[in-house]
Amino acid sequence: MDELAEAAGITVRTLRFYRERKLIPPPRREGRIAWYNEHHLARLRTIGALLERGHTLGGIAELLTAFESGRDVAELLGLAGAAITVPWSEEQAVRLTPEELADRFAGEVTPENLAAALDVGYLAVDGDEIVHVSRRLLDASTALVGSGIPLAAVLAAGRELRVHVDAIAETFTRLITTHVLADVIAHTADGATPTAAEVTRITETVERLRPTAKAVVDAEMSMAMDRRIRAELDAWVAEHRPEAGDPGEPGESSAAR
């Protein structure tokens, strides 16, 4: 305990207090000897960094509990995606420390928002690090929050969007399995193992159609945004257009006034 406190730059009394508050996990014991490791030191440094950023010990305890609750999510995500023979997604995961996450979303990293991000699958926990499943989504969330949108609203929108994109994915999957890979699906319908040639064909099909699907979704999204923005602007203009006969209406003669 003395060695850990010295390495962390705190007193033994403070370390005992953190243990009593369950801010750090218990040590590994061999008889009367308590062994601490780099995990404990990293946790203490995280607590110190969060304290410097204005978090209270009570808030830190809630955050750490939320981090730990994501461990099962991390185990489910982990390398499970690598087991997929042909991953469609090209997203790059990002590893963050709790303080790096707090810096990205200043004042927005609450236990409620953290739990929501874990629940929707954006975040997972691996030891003392947080894993965000997509650099692009992380950067987009950071930009939206930086523009003044609360993180809770961004997460709620992400959950809503997930429903719509799942439906889009189902549409594309149905097209591919029905019209491109129908014979492979039929061959494996009774539990037969796909042949090497069939696996190669599936791989080539996914690689070939991935950019096509992305292009279609991007084009449809662009046109939908155009329609929505035009409709919103038209409605705004109509709402603020002067009524007929109002003083100052363009084209009205001075005599009529």
Task: List the chain domain ranges.
Answer: 1-52, 57-160, 180-239
pLDDT at 253 over 60: no
Residue recorded with tokens 């064909």: 201
**Per-residue model confidence (pLDDT) at position 232:** 93
What CA–CA distance (Å, rounded) separates 20 from 138?
35
Residues 6+ apart with CB under 8 A from 73: 118, 121, 123, 124, 125
Mean pLDDT of 185-207: 79
Render pLDDT for 6-32 as a digit per residue (tens, 0 to 9): 988 899 889 988 888 888 888 888 888
**Per-residue model confidence (pLDDT) at position 66:** 64
Mean pLDDT of 138-157: 96
Render pLDDT for 83-117 as a digit per residue (tens, 0 to 9): 334 456 678 889 888 888 888 998 898 888 888 88
Mean pLDDT of 233-241: 89
**Per-residue model confidence (pLDDT) at position 83:** 36
The token duo for 147 is 């523009």
Min mean pLDDT across 54-58, 207-211, 224-228 is at 54-58
**Per-residue model confidence (pLDDT) at position 69:** 56
**Per-residue model confidence (pLDDT) at position 218:** 94
Provide the β-strand partners of residue 30.
Answer: 33
Structural fold of domain 1-52: Multidrug-efflux Transporter Regulator; Chain: A; Domain 2 (1.10.1660)
Torsion of CA 13, 16, 22, 28, to 10 degrees: 150
CB of 101 closer than 8 Å to CB of 145 = no
Helices assigned H by DSSP within the chain = 2-8, 12-20, 38-52, 57-69, 71-77, 98-104, 111-120, 135-146, 151-179, 182-188, 196-240
Q: Which residue has better confidence, 164 or 33?
A: 164
The token duo for 186 is 């039929």
Q: Which residue has better confidence, 11 or 255?
A: 11
Cβ count near 17 (within 10 Å): 13
Instruction: Give the three-state DSSP class for 15.
Output: helix
**What average pLDDT is seen over the chain?**
81
Render pLDDT for 164-184 as a digit per residue (tens, 0 to 9): 999 998 999 889 889 988 888
**Per-residue model confidence (pLDDT) at position 16:** 87
**Per-residue model confidence (pLDDT) at position 244:** 58
- At residue 254 the predicted structure's pLDDT band, cuts being 50, 70 and 90, is very low
Q: Which residue has better confidence, 59 or 139?
A: 139
pLDDT at 140 over 70: yes
**Per-residue model confidence (pLDDT) at position 222:** 95
**Per-residue model confidence (pLDDT) at position 247:** 57
